[in-house]
Homo-oligomer: A and B are copies of this chain.
Amino acid sequence: MDAIENIMSRRSVRRFTDRKISDDDLNTILCAGMSGPSCVNARDWSFVVVRDKDMLLKMAEANGRPAEPLKGADVGVLLCGDLDRAFPRAKDYWVIDGSIAAQNMILAANALGIGSVWLGTWPQTDRVKAQAELFSLPDSAVPHSLIAFGYPSEEELSAPPKNDKFEEDRVHYEKW
């Protein structure tokens, strides 16, 4: 798919078919996640990739009602920040670096015809704690976001195309 069209056409997909994502496509998605910039090239993230249905249910339940789409997803990814790798003088760049990785994964999936929805975890501390407990994470790994991946259902495919408006009043030229 054309790169600009891919960026503009991405939308959140919450209903999936049973079709499996191939290992090759999953690797491409993960590779995209590792291809973004990060502060001082710290690459301060990790990925937990889950296909087990019981675990996907538990991840959804630990993340509140908006995480329901995980229950029907083929793959769920828990993206974590890695505080051991984060820029020592300003560790909170891990939040930005994790976001870049997640958006790259979502865009790569869209290019492959795979739908996804980003399910917020950080900064909601109850969710961060629940995911850390569920996966028995070490202290250095901080839950950042969950992403549900799968092939879009018929309803999703027949939904009207996304029509984001260009919000002119959000752009300032030369000065605020």
Q: How far is the CB of A96 from chain B (nearest CB, A)?
A: 5
Q: How far is the CB of A35 from chain B (nearest CB, A)?
A: 5
A63 within 8 Å of B by Cβ?
Answer: no
A1 within 8 Å of B by Cβ?
Answer: yes
Give the docked Cα–Cα distance between A166 and B33 (Å): 10
A12 within 8 Å of B by Cβ?
Answer: yes
Q: How many copies of the polypeptide does the oligomer hold? A: 2
Cβ B173 vs Cβ A108 within 8 A: no
By a CB distance below 8 angstroms, the chain B residues around A176 are: 48, 135-138, 141
By a CB distance below 8 angstroms, the chain B residues around A170 are: 34, 43, 45-47, 82
Cβ B34 vs Cβ A7 within 8 A: no
Give the docked Cα–Cα distance between A89 and B124 (Å): 9
Partner of A49, one of B5, B106, B141, B173: B173
Q: Which of A49, A117, A145 has the most CB of B within 10 A?
A: A49
Residues of A in contact (CB 8 Å), total 72
Q: How far is the CB of A81 from chain B (nearest CB, A)?
A: 11
A51 within 8 Å of B by Cβ?
Answer: yes
Cβ A172 vs Cβ B48 within 8 A: yes
A3 within 8 Å of B by Cβ?
Answer: yes
Please name 13 pairs of A and B residues whose Cβ atoms are closer than 8 Å in the assembled complex, sorted by A: A3-B5, A7-B104, A8-B31, A10-B36, A27-B166, A34-B166, A34-B170, A37-B106, A46-B172, A50-B174, A55-B174, A103-B104, A137-B176
A31-B164, A141-B176 known; 16 other A-B pairs, CB under 8 Å? A3-B6, A3-B7, A7-B108, A35-B164, A36-B103, A37-B117, A47-B171, A49-B171, A55-B175, A82-B170, A90-B124, A92-B122, A96-B99, A100-B102, A100-B103, A138-B176
